[in-house]
């Protein structure tokens, strides 16, 4: 099996096994392809959907609006769903209606246009919102009931003049306790909301990061099939390389997610061994040269005096790859990237410097936060997980990471890890 066949099989597996539903339609709104998750969501078999109108999956009112959206878009090219996404209602085979988030991408091929829809079921989120609303309503009823009870107590206390002052103090105390309880409940609800937002942000980010690469791959695969002549090999290779690059990007995203999950669950174990840091350094440099932008220079300096390092080789390699790949990603095409490494009996130090876009001052304090991305990189692909994972990995080695950055001038990351060679 060649690389192209392997890439096609892996991409088909990603399409088939995606957690969210994926449906591909043509310009006449006829379904061409549908993955397993979409079939499960709507309760149909694949054969029942392919070559059928997409409107069969919508309530009548949604179907009418959908036809209008596509007609208006094809006429005006002003997107309302395509490339933007919105919450809509779907209809299952059973007739049951359910809410989902729909994101649609337009893919223009040589002779036609197709639309890829990504479907994320919102049923659980809507049910959770309804449960939360019910809880709030119950809480309000309890507060009203309690307030009524307090009013009765106050009326009784007013009838007893001799105990008026004491009872008023009791009332104030009870009211304060209620406020404290309300504050505790508000704090609990805020925490629950933050967890929900974190989950939502994760799903949204994953959907966004997967959507564009998958569309790119589908487009390239379709185009490759059209280059059948021997003199079109250059075109075939261009799209094959495009597919390879996209698959590598998807693999990097998946690796970030898996690493984060393993770290959260405490399933990462360190393995300490003796190794030559210069050999590792050169190994990473050679790998990184393959992803350099045109005219970028990767300059490396080292000073080890033949000293070995005892640490986790895999974690250090992953750290170097992350920092160098970031430097490449956020630097201009003709920029220089300097990598320095030094080691002695106590510590392994290395740094990665670039002449890239830099990090805004107001963003620097959040740089190692999970999912955080600086305000000036919104148009550059990434998950916002890499540096958070690197920091957690280095903490497992008792290491430290710091950085210095100036906007439009560049950034330098410095890493220091204890050398346990004499431990």
- With a CB cutoff of 8 Å and minimum separation 6, the contacts of 200 are 125
141 phi/psi in degrees, rounded to 5: -65, -40
CATH of the domain at 376: 3.30.565.10
CATH of the domain at 217: 1.10.287.130
Q: How many domains does the chain have?
A: 3
- 253 and 296 in a single domain? The answer is no
Tokens matching residue 5: 């066949």
pLDDT of residue 250: 57
Residue 344 and residue 324: Cα distance in Å, rounded?
A: 23
Asked, for residue 22, whether it belongs to a domain, the answer is yes
- 378 and 282 in a single domain? The answer is yes
Which helix (H) or strand (E) is 255 found in, with range? helix 233-264
Residue whose entry in the numeric block shows the structure tokens 């309000």:
140
Query: Domain boundary at 224, 247, 266, which?
Result: 266
- 282 and 330 in a single domain? The answer is yes
Residue whose entry in the numeric block shows the structure tokens 């997610």:
257
- 295 and 203 in a single domain? The answer is no
Asked, for residue 423, whether it belongs to a domain, the answer is no
CATH of the domain at 53: 3.30.450.20
pLDDT of residue 172: 87
Q: Which of 69, 79, 113, 81 is nearest to 218 (CA)?
A: 113
- 224 and 299 in a single domain? The answer is no
- 291 and 344 in a single domain? The answer is yes
- 85 and 18 in a single domain? The answer is yes
pLDDT of residue 336: 92
Query: Domain boundary at 205, 235, 266, which?
Result: 266
Print the domain residue range for 284: 273-418
Asked, for residue 365, whether it belongs to a domain, the answer is yes
Per-residue CA distances from 305 to 56, 275, 292 (Å) = 71, 14, 29
Per-residue pLDDT tens digits of the chain, which is 423 residues long: 577 777 778 878 888 888 889 999 888 889 999 999 999 999 999 999 999 988 899 888 877 776 666 666 666 666 666 777 788 889 999 999 999 988 888 888 888 888 888 999 898 888 888 898 898 888 888 888 888 887 887 677 666 777 777 778 888 888 888 888 888 888 777 756 654 555 555 555 555 555 555 555 666 666 666 666 666 677 666 667 666 655 655 565 556 555 655 666 566 788 899 999 989 998 888 888 878 888 998 988 776 677 899 999 988 988 998 899 899 989 988 889 999 999 988 999 999 999 999 999 999 999 888 778 888 887 777 777 788 888 988 998 999 999 999 999 999 999 999 998 876
Q: Which of 87, 142, 153, 98 is nearest to 124 (CA)?
A: 98
Query: Domain boundary at 234, 266, 298, which?
Result: 266
400 phi/psi in degrees, rounded to 5: -135, 150
pLDDT of residue 202: 57
- 280 and 168 in a single domain? The answer is no
pLDDT of residue 361: 92
- 193 and 282 in a single domain? The answer is no
Tokens matching residue 284: 């990473």
Say if pTM beats, i.e. exceeds, 0.85: no
- 155 and 261 in a single domain? The answer is yes
- 202 and 278 in a single domain? The answer is no
- 296 and 388 in a single domain? The answer is yes
């Amino acid at each position: 099996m060649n690389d192209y066949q392997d890439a096609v099989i892996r991409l088909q597996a990603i399409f088939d096994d995606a957690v969210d539903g994926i449906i591909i339609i043509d310009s006449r709104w006829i379904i061409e392809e549908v993955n397993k998750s979409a079939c499960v969501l709507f309760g149909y078999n694949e054969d029942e959907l392919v070559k059928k109108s997409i409107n069969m999956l919508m309530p009548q009112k949604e179907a009418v609006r959908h036809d209008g959206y596509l007609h208006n878009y094809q006429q005006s090219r002003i997107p309302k769903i395509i490339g933007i996404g919105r919450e809509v209602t779907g209809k299952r085979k059973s007739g049951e209606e359910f809410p989902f988030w729909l994101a649609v991408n337009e893919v223009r091929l040589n002779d036609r246009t197709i639309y890829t829809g990504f479907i994320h079921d919102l049923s659980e989120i809507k049910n959770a919102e309804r449960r939360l609303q019910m809880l709030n309503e119950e809480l309000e009823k309890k507060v009203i009931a309690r307030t009524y009870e307090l009013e009765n107590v106050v009326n009784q206390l007013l009838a007893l003049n001799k105990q008026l002052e004491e009872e008023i103090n009791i009332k104030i105390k009870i009211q304060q306790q209620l406020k404290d309880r309300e504050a505790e409940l508000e704090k609990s609800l805020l925490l629950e909301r933050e967890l929900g937002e974190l989950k939502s942000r994760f799903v949204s980010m994953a959907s966004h990061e997967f959507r564009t690469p998958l569309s790119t791959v589908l487009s390239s695969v379709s185009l490759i099939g059209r280059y059948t002549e021997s003199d079109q090999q250059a075109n075939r290779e261009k799209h094959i390389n495009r597919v390879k690059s996209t698959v590598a990007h998807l693999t990097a995203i998946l690796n970030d997610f898996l690493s984060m999950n393993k770290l959260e669950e405490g399933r990462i174990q360190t393995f300490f061994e003796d190794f030559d840091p210069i050999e590792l350094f050169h190994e990473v440099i050679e790998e990184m040269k393959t992803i350099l932008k045109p005219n970028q220079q990767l300059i490396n300096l080292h000073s080890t005096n033949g000293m070995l390092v005892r640490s986790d080789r895999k974690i250090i390699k992953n750290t170097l790859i992350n920092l160098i790949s970031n430097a490449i990603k956020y630097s201009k095409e003709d920029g220089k990237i300097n990598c320095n490494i030094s080691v002695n009996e106590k510590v392994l130090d290395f740094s990665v410097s670039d002449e890239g876009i830099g990090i805004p001052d107001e963003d620097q304090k959040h740089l190692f936060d999970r999912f955080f991305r600086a305000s000036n990189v919104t148009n550059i692909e990434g998950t916002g997980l890499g540096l958070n994972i690197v920091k957690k990995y280095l903490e497992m080695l008792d290491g430290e990471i710091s950085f210095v950055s100036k906007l439009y001038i560049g950034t330098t990351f410095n890493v220091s890890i204890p050398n346990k060679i004499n431990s």
